[in-house]
Structure 1
Amino acid sequence: MSNSFLGAGSRFKEGPDQRLYNSAFQYELECSPYIMSNLSIADMSHVMTLIQGGVISSSKGRKLLSGLLEVHLQGTENIPLDPAVGDSYNNRDKYLQQQIGPDSGYVHIGRARREASTIAWQMVCREKLFCLHEKLIQLCEVFNHVVSQHLNTFMADFTYLQHAQPTTLAHYLQGFQRPLLRDIGRIETAIKMVNLSPACSGSVNGSQIEMNREFIAELLEFDGILTHTRDAMWAPDMCIDVMTSLCSIMTSLNRISEEFIIWNSAEFSYLELADGFTRTSVIMPQKKNPYGLAFIRGQARTFNGMMTNILSTNQTISGQPDNRLYAYGELPKALDYAIQCVDLFAGILSTSKFNKDKLAEAAADKFIVATDLCDMLVKFSDLDNRSAHKIIGRAVRNACDEEQDGFTLDSIKLAAQQLNIDLPNIPDQVFNSNIDIPSLISLRKGLGSANPEQVQLMVQDSQNSIAKAHSFQGNYRMSSFNERFVKKVNLFLNELKDK
């Protein structure tokens, strides 16, 4: 124990207290599954940079880099994690000393622990953000498929869970898809930010050790460099931007999941969930509980807490480790959950069966055309909207009092007379087109409306956005990064051998 911790025999007379390593150090180790493999890549790229700059001789560098590559190819499973040793970086350092010997100490030249961990963390975030980006594309493609099947599936739109206006299921679902399409853009922005290299920052102010920041950024396939060395080590907005994007996605998923939970109830019966995304009750065998939707809903609320965590820990004064200490594990974990939830909802949406009869029944609500009748009165008279609103409102009141079934042209004229408002003659054909649901929706020709032609235009627009997102994916090859990097290392070693 006395020689197993950083600073043993130098700065420190004794090792960490058990209460420290059982709490703080143990917490830091929980992020090891996320960053340990990329710590290995960070080490190799750093050594390659030191060799390239002449800081380490070719012969010594080749031996060290070969040892690091061998450890990397063994995987991270063999690296023991002991909180008494410290965090992931220190545990890896101890393992390297055992496997490579004293030469492993060259790995630390001109580089702080925080730099290596930050590189590893950004790389895992980059990888998971790309996965999330891909899952969002797939979900939006599912939306397009389902929307295209329901251009003429009529239903009642809701406000306050009350019937508001007639619409189509296609248009209604698009209202949930559009924010997700914008979320794709948010994730692309987050990817661009985490894909800037913080490498070769020294401690925080640079180093007198010669290191080529462009060289290592290219090795790690970063798009560019976080120029200011101090900013590169902390960059609190990076954590906040990523987490904000995730919260936006989870908010969108939560909103439609909440709707589907209600729609799945016997009182609504607007949709039936596939068995594979539900589970039954232990005690009530008739139940088919919307468990997948409940999981998404619960996770969305959990993300609120994660956002508070990331936000508050990044509000520390400059140079405090809190913002990374909690981000190293929390953000990759949040990314994993977001990936799961997006993928899960894509499965739910693609397999759900919508009850067209029940939806149409709601669209046939006798008062659901009230707003359109107001618009009709304004359109075919000199009435202001407030007067038209009064007339239709009075007609609703009369119908309720007399238990009448909806509107007639005569009932509207009577309401106007009761309010001493002059009404022009409204042709029967005009009135009928405003109470017939398919005809009424076809009258809404404005951009983005529920008119099936407009919905189809928005489907095409979303397909264009999806195509651009696919193009963004095509600019990167995250799935094979590790293989490409290993090839770079071997090529570098061969070049050293020839010198």
Structure 2
Amino acid sequence: MLDGAEELAKAGYAWEIADAPILHRALNLADLAHVLELLRIKAIPEHAGHALIGELLHLADSPDDTVRYDPEFGEMYSSRERYFAGRIGDDAGWLHAGRTRREAMRIAYRIVVRRQVLTLVTAAADLVEHLCIQGRAHIDTVMPDYTYLQPAQPTTFGHYILSFADPVLRDAGRLVREFADINASPVGSGAASGSALLSDREGPGHDLGFDGPIHHVRDAMWQSDPFTHALLAATTLVIAHDKLAEDLEIFTSREFGFVTLGDGLVRPSVLMPQKRNPYALTVIRGVAGIMIGRSTGQLTVTKSPSARSDLYIYAYGEVPRSLDLAIRATELTSAVVRTLSVDAGAMKAALEETFTEAADIATFLMQRFHIDYRSAHSIVAAAVDYARADARPLSPQDISRSAQSVVGRSLDLTDDELAKLTDPVQVAASHDGLGGSARTPMLAFADDRTTQAIELRDWAGRTRDTLDLGEADLLRRARAAIDHEEATETP
């Protein structure tokens, strides 16, 4: 072994070889399409092409460890070359015709990532549907909305939980838009400026399910932004899950007692019998941190001159692993939402003596007595202080007393008026503008977002079906080529 080769294998090739299980199947497809195209244009001998197809079909039905992927032989493409040479001798060398190893790897990478994007979009759509189901179920379940963990205004749990639907839909939409660039074909790019052998870049790419060729071959080989954007969208998607998980971790605590996770999502303490740890929420929060770290790492390695392998060496495995983690975190978040039990009594009780209706009272005073809002705000703030000092509910006398000191005159409310203004159910129901907590806008919101989720899932399903059919047809054509050769050789 050459001096330094062992160290390079351990530090470099071993890293790439670890990604072989991720890319193995996709590399088989990329190689099959390449050999079929070489045979179509009569660029290689038929016997060599058929020998290669036979081995590739064998690998298509075999686990990745059939090829001895070993850093001692170099990166994974070199291990595959060694495997083919050991099986069919010099005929294996025809696989290199008109294509660099990087082109094969780039094709396989896109094949893997495009399916993960579809799976993540589907998982996001499922999550939105579960959010909408819970939102409808608790459209009238009143609770305090919190800012800075302080009671702010009366709302409903339905309104609260539905606030997480649009962030998920936005990231799903970003993934859909990035799919178009991810599913663009680098086939036929050659070394740097094109291939002297493969002039048709559309047909072979179409055979692999790509929507069309990337128009500039150098960009086709070295672009990283579609994958970076997909990774960032997956990261912000998981950050949205994290926000919900962090809230729910508080809401599941004994001090709040608003919600309970499903039994399958908690973990008991091995020492303390009474504890029921919301372990699923810990996992979601941890995944968000990991995704942020991996996204930052990928952004760092993409900062390089053009036509450098750094970004791909560390992207082939890291991006698919990160997307897989995002998929699992999204599916776990769906399970959390789906199995969530809500204590409506605890939520309503949490509104007592919190004065969360104060902003609505100030707005009423402004409109009823034609005073500016800042003065109305000061009146209600002082009235709340009076009530708090005596540990009692707000009274019309508190309003009148504070108004006298702020604006120099009494503002008289009846008991019935104040009772309506301090009823959290009526306050939440009065916020009936677009996106407000009232029943009508929230039911319309839930219906619309459910429709959007169904459309996303249907798009992902149709696209996945198209890819499945294309890959099945590629394998069928490859088998037909072998069958034709065998039929021709049979006397």
The alpha-carbon deviation at position 216 of structure 1 amounts to 1.2
- Residue deviations 1:312-359 (CA, integer Å, cap 9, x gap): 111111111111011101011011111111111111211121111110
Moved more, 387-396 or 185-194: 185-194
Instruction: Confirm or deny that 1:278 pairs with 2:266.
Output: yes
Moved more, 139-148 or 427-436: 427-436
Moved more, 448-457 or 184-193: 184-193
The alpha-carbon deviation at position 361 of structure 1 amounts to 0.7
Alignment-derived partner of residue 486 in structure 1: 475
Moved more, 468-477 or 56-65: 56-65
Alignment-derived partner of residue 376 in structure 1: 364
Instruction: Confirm or deny that 1:457 pairs with 2:444.
Output: yes
Alignment-derived partner of residue 319 in structure 2: 331
Matches within 5 A, 1:246-395: 246-395=234-383
Alignment-derived partner of residue 139 in structure 2: 151
Structure 1 distance, partners of 2:301, 2:233, is 18
From the superposition, tell whether residues 496 and 409 of structure 1 become closer, same or farther in structure 2 (CA, over 3 Å).
Answer: farther
Between 1 and 2, higher relative CO (CA 8 Å, sep ≥ 6) is seen in 2
- Residue deviations 1:250-291 (CA, integer Å, cap 9, x gap): 100100001111111111111112221111122222211111
Structure 2 distance, partners of 1:75, 1:400, is 70
The alpha-carbon deviation at position 222 of structure 1 amounts to 0.8
Structure 1 distance, partners of 2:218, 2:201, is 14
- Residue deviations 1:59-92 (CA, integer Å, cap 9, x gap): 5433432332233333423111211101111111
From the superposition, tell whether residues 207 and 375 of structure 1 become closer, same or farther in structure 2 (CA, over 3 Å).
Answer: same
Structure 2 counterpart SS, 1:212: coil
Instruction: Confirm or deny that 1:191 pairs with 2:179.
Output: yes
Alignment-derived partner of residue 174 in structure 1: 162
State which of 412, 415, 440 in structure 1 corresponds to 2:427: 440
Structure 2 distance, partners of 1:205, 1:405, is 80
Provide structure 2 residue ranges, at least 5 long, that are not aligned to the other structure: none
Q: TM-score, normalised by structure 1?
A: 0.93
Structure 2 distance, partners of 1:366, 1:277, is 32
From the superposition, tell whether residues 30 and 350 of structure 1 become closer, same or farther in structure 2 (CA, over 3 Å).
Answer: same
Q: Is contact 2:33-2:208 (8 Å) kept?
A: yes
The alpha-carbon deviation at position 94 of structure 1 amounts to 0.7
- Residue deviations 1:13-68 (CA, integer Å, cap 9, x gap): x4762111011111111111110111111111111122223322445433432332
The alpha-carbon deviation at position 189 of structure 1 amounts to 1.6
Instruction: Confirm or deny that 1:113 pairs with 2:97.
Output: no
Matches within 5 A, 1:396-411: 396-401=384-389, 403-411=390-398
The alpha-carbon deviation at position 148 of structure 1 amounts to 1.2
Structure 2 distance, partners of 1:308, 1:289, is 31
Q: Is contact 1:49-1:212 (8 Å) kept?
A: no
State which of 120, 129, 146 in structure 2 corresponds to 1:132: 120
- Residue deviations 1:189-231 (CA, integer Å, cap 9, x gap): 2222211111111012112113421011111111122111111
Give the counterpart letter for 1:464 in structure 2. Answer: T
Structure 1 counterpart SS, 2:422: coil
Structure 1 counterpart SS, 2:320: helix
The alpha-carbon deviation at position 480 of structure 1 amounts to 6.0
Give the counterpart letter for 1:236 in structure 2. Answer: S
Structure 2 distance, partners of 1:388, 1:420, is 9
Structure 2 distance, partners of 1:365, 1:52, is 80
Matches within 5 A, 1:218-229: 218-229=206-217
Alignment-derived partner of residue 151 in structure 2: 163
The alpha-carbon deviation at position 368 of structure 1 amounts to 1.0
Pairwise CA RMSD of aligned residues? Answer: 2.0
Structure 1 distance, partners of 2:372, 2:468, is 61
Give the counterpart letter for 1:475 in structure 2. Answer: R
Provide structure 1 residue ranges, at least 5 long, that are not aligned to the other structure: 3-13
Alignment-derived partner of residue 40 in structure 2: 52
Give the counterpart letter for 1:108 in structure 2. Answer: H
Structure 1 distance, partners of 2:133, 2:482, is 50
Give the counterpart letter for 1:61 in structure 2. Answer: G
Structure 2 distance, partners of 1:422, 1:223, is 73
Q: Is contact 1:133-1:187 (8 Å) kept?
A: yes
Instruction: Confirm or deny that 1:466 pairs with 2:453.
Output: yes
Pairs aligned (count): 486
Give the counterpart letter for 1:410 in structure 2. Answer: Q
Q: TM-score, normalised by structure 2?
A: 0.94
| Structure 1 stretches of at least 4 aligned residues deviating more than 6 Å after TM superposition | 495-499
The alpha-carbon deviation at position 147 of structure 1 amounts to 1.1
Q: Is contact 2:260-2:340 (8 Å) kept?
A: yes
Structure 2 counterpart SS, 1:487: helix
Matches within 5 A, 1:29-44: 29-44=17-32
Structure 1 distance, partners of 2:102, 2:348, is 60
Give the counterpart letter for 1:337 in structure 2. Answer: L
Moved more, 360-369 or 425-434: 425-434
Structure 1 counterpart SS, 2:407: coil
Structure 1 counterpart SS, 2:303: coil
Structure 1 counterpart SS, 2:145: strand
- Residue deviations 1:120-150 (CA, integer Å, cap 9, x gap): 1111111111111111111111111111110
Structure 2 distance, partners of 1:274, 1:464, is 27
The alpha-carbon deviation at position 118 of structure 1 amounts to 1.0
Q: Is contact 1:133-1:184 (8 Å) kept?
A: yes
Give the counterpart letter for 1:217 in structure 2. Answer: G
Structure 1 distance, partners of 2:12, 2:230, is 25
The alpha-carbon deviation at position 471 of structure 1 amounts to 3.1
Structure 2 counterpart SS, 1:163: strand
The alpha-carbon deviation at position 484 of structure 1 amounts to 3.7
The alpha-carbon deviation at position 107 of structure 1 amounts to 0.8
State which of 403, 407, 422 in structure 2 corresponds to 1:416: 403
Give the counterpart letter for 2:421 in structure 1. Answer: N
